[in-house]
Amino acid sequence: MYEPPDALEAPRFTGPRTYARLPYVKSLEGVDCAVFGMPWDGGASFRPGARFGPEGIRSASGMIRTYNEGIGVQVFGALSVIDFGDAPTVPGYIEDTLGRITEFVRPIAAAGVTPIGMGGDHSVTLAELRALAAVHGPLGLVHLDAHTDLWRSYFGRPYSHGTMFRRAIEEGIIEAARVIQAGMHGPLYEEADLAIPAELGVEMIPWRALASLTPEAFADRVRQRLGEGPSFLTFDVDFVDIAFCPGTGTPEVGGPTSFQALSYLRALKGTRFVGFDVVEVSPPYDGPGQVTALFAANMIFDMLGLVALSRRTSIRANADSAPAATGP
């Protein structure tokens, strides 16, 4: 069982920087979840710096404890979790980088371990989806973001942090009928941009509409859209208003608070997620106290909480369905 050291024995400011002070382990045996970094910002269209996102999230995660009060579940001690290190990247070469991240994630997925990625600009999610779809088949997708990332191209090129979900649909690694995007806000190039998700068969809930939904109502929409198949959850920190998450590459104003963002995620209990990521943390633009990185670290803890809750529910269901023992 892999878990952090006792904070009452080893102070939180000691030791190498891993996520939540978890052990850095390269073996997947006996592991439930593997947290890993994708230090890359070659797909960013505005502010750089997301290559330092994994480092920033790890440094901000030292106060993560073991019980997730927001979800109501024990995480560390119930799940065996490791920091699996960073995927290799190739500065300046996005196709090569995506290929190397895919090969890094593939054995995690093949081992039945739930991967939780730390970006990195949002283009890295395409690599994760490729690796997971190779094991699980075409995936559903929950996408929380200020932007749809469904553009045909950027600067005449097919790969960027704004095109990867169109590429994923074209490659057949996500099913458009099982994709739901939520939280979109901010300026667009033209009114016709609003129609792009529907044209591709994707359900999109802009922030103004999402704001009128309770987290439970949103979760119902998600479950209806995804069905029972395997799905991936990707969270771009620019989903959150820049007042709460300033350290990101394409900031937008007028979004949800950090509490609202956590509430929407926490409501997704019982959804069959086979992987997660948090992307677009850019520490050079973060505020005092590294509030964006701190938020991302806690968002990952909630993702782990969803996994822990799912495992607990599954164990209880199996115990309830087991035949009763009979005496001699």
Q: Which of the two residues, 323 and 228, has the higher pLDDT score?
A: 228
pLDDT, residue 322, reads 56
122-156 burial, b for 16+ CB within 10 Å, e for fewer?
bbbbbbbbbbbbebbebbbbbbbbbbbbbbeeeee
pLDDT tens across 36-74, in order? Answer: 999 999 999 999 999 999 999 999 999 999 999 999 999
> What does the chain come to in residues?
328
pLDDT, residue 306, reads 98
pLDDT at residue 305 greater than cutoff 70: yes
Q: Which two tokens stand for residue 285?
A: 């633009």
Q: What confidence category does residue 166 fall into, taking pLDDT thresholds of 50, 70 and 90? A: very high
pLDDT tens across 197-213, in order? Answer: 999 999 999 999 999 99
Q: Is the dihedral of CA 5, 10, 11, 14 positive or negative?
A: negative
Could you give the angle at the alpha carbon of 246 between the alpha carbons of 126 and 209, nearest 5°?
Answer: 70
pLDDT, residue 328, reads 45
Q: Are 162 and 149 in contact (CB under 8 A)?
A: yes
How many angstroms separate the Cα of 213 from the Cα of each of 143, 196, 234, 267?
16, 23, 20, 12
Angle between helices 291-321 and 258-266 (to 10 degrees): 20
Q: Are 60 and 1 in contact (CB under 8 A)?
A: no
pLDDT tens across 83-110, in order? Answer: 999 999 999 999 999 999 999 999 999 9
pLDDT, residue 112, reads 97
Among 23-37, 154-168, 289-303, the range scoring the smallest mean pLDDT is 154-168
Q: Are 151 and 163 in contact (CB under 8 A)?
A: yes
Q: Are 65 and 299 in contact (CB under 8 A)?
A: no
Rounded to the nearest integer, the mean pLDDT of the chain is: 94
pLDDT tens across 254-292, in order? Answer: 999 999 999 999 999 999 999 999 999 999 999 899 999
Which residues make beta-bridge pairs with 74? 67
Q: Which of the two residues, 325 and 175, has the higher pLDDT score?
A: 175
Q: Which residues contact 188 (CB under 8 A, 6 or more apart)?
A: 194
pLDDT at residue 132 greater than cutoff 80: yes
- The β-bridge relationship of strands 114-119 and 139-144 is unpaired
Please tell me which of 14-23, 139-148, 150-159 the model is most confident about, judged by mean pLDDT: 139-148
pLDDT at residue 319 greater than cutoff 70: no
Q: Are 233 and 181 in contact (CB under 8 A)?
A: no
Q: What element of type H or E holds 315? A: helix 291-321
Q: What confidence category does residue 9 fall into, taking pLDDT thresholds of 50, 70 and 90? A: confident
Q: Is 55 helix (H, G, I), strand (E, B) or coil?
A: helix
Q: What confidence category does residue 114 fall into, taking pLDDT thresholds of 50, 70 and 90? A: very high
pLDDT tens across 184-201, in order? Answer: 999 998 898 999 999 999
**Which domains does the chain possess?**
19-312 (3.40.800.10)
pLDDT at residue 34 greater than cutoff 90: yes
DSSP state of 240: S
Q: What confidence category does residue 154 fall into, taking pLDDT thresholds of 50, 70 and 90? A: confident
